[in-house]
Chain A
């Protein structure tokens, strides 16, 4: 009976050691980050302004992109045309907007942001 008690204590000790290891290996959750939302808002701003003022030329779009997203690379899509700004990266956020052109045709603008 005493031996069983000792075995139980040893098992409990082992269980405690495992619990400590599990707790130590658990990382607390990352703090919530609003950066993706902020970037999305700015992408949306660019698209809305471009459509609202009349679609600018691709070089002007590229200039606006560099001004709104300094230090970022990305890609601007205007229907089937694309302009690369900087080097692509693996982590990409894309936002697009559809609009009715004066001719009545449906147009599409998109901004891909590499982070």
Chain B
């Protein structure tokens, strides 16, 4: 036969156990969400660097110099339009101010000397081994000569 105090003790223990389980469940959920957020945050800078590099080079080969954004494509007056991937035989250096992630930009013809438009020293932390860089290439036609437009983008 149970006394009131025994039932009370059993109830308290049961309640304590339920509260502990509730807290542990909440903790597990929060820990999972935290790890998810940290994982996403660590992957974001690399993604942002890749995206800026890809889209910057894409804009270079598709815009001409008359646009507000830097561009290297030639304007065909006969067609009355900019010709993506086709550069004039002697392309001029694009305006590269305001693009701090751009480390270097080179135009390397298949047969001929390369042209370097940008080559900045790394300005990031002293331990430059931690700097992340991505290199992207685009094929263009310079006059009648095929060339690779190579851009290197770094986060430091």
Q: Which of A31-39, A76-84, A85-93 contacts B (4 or more CB under 8 A)?
A: A31-39
Q: Which of B42-50, B95-103, B125-133 contacts A (4 or more CB under 8 A)?
A: B42-50
Set B15, B36, B83, B86: member contacting A28, Cβ < 8 A: B36
Interface residues on A, range: 20 to 34
Residues of A within 8 A of B22 (CB): 12
A48 to B25 alpha-carbon distance, docked (Å): 57
Contact, CB under 8 Å: B51 / A13:
no
Contact, CB under 8 Å: A38 / B136:
yes
Residues of A within 8 A of B40 (CB): 28-29, 31
Interface residues on B, range: 35 or more
Residues of A within 8 A of B144 (CB): 53
Q: Is chain A's interface secondary structure helix, strand, loop, or mixed overall?
A: helix
Q: Does B148 count as interface, using CB distance less than 8 angstroms?
A: yes
Assuming the contacts A16-B21, A28-B40, A53-B144, asked whether A68 and B139 have C-beta atoms less than 8 A apart, the reply is yes
Contact, CB under 8 Å: B54 / A48:
no
B-contacting residues, A36-53, CB 8 Å: 37-38, 41-42, 45-46, 48-49, 52-53
Q: Does A98 count as interface, using CB distance less than 8 angstroms?
A: no
Contact, CB under 8 Å: A2 / B7:
yes
Contact, CB under 8 Å: B54 / A38:
yes
Residues of B within 8 A of A19 (CB): 25, 28-29
Query: Contact mask B107-143 → A, CB, 8 Å, 1/0?
Result: 0001000000000000000000000000011111100
Please report A residues at the B interface, Cβ cutoff 8 Å. Answer: 1-2, 5-6, 8-9, 12-13, 15-16, 19-20, 23, 26, 28-29, 31-32, 34, 37-38, 41-42, 45-46, 48-49, 52-53, 64, 67-68
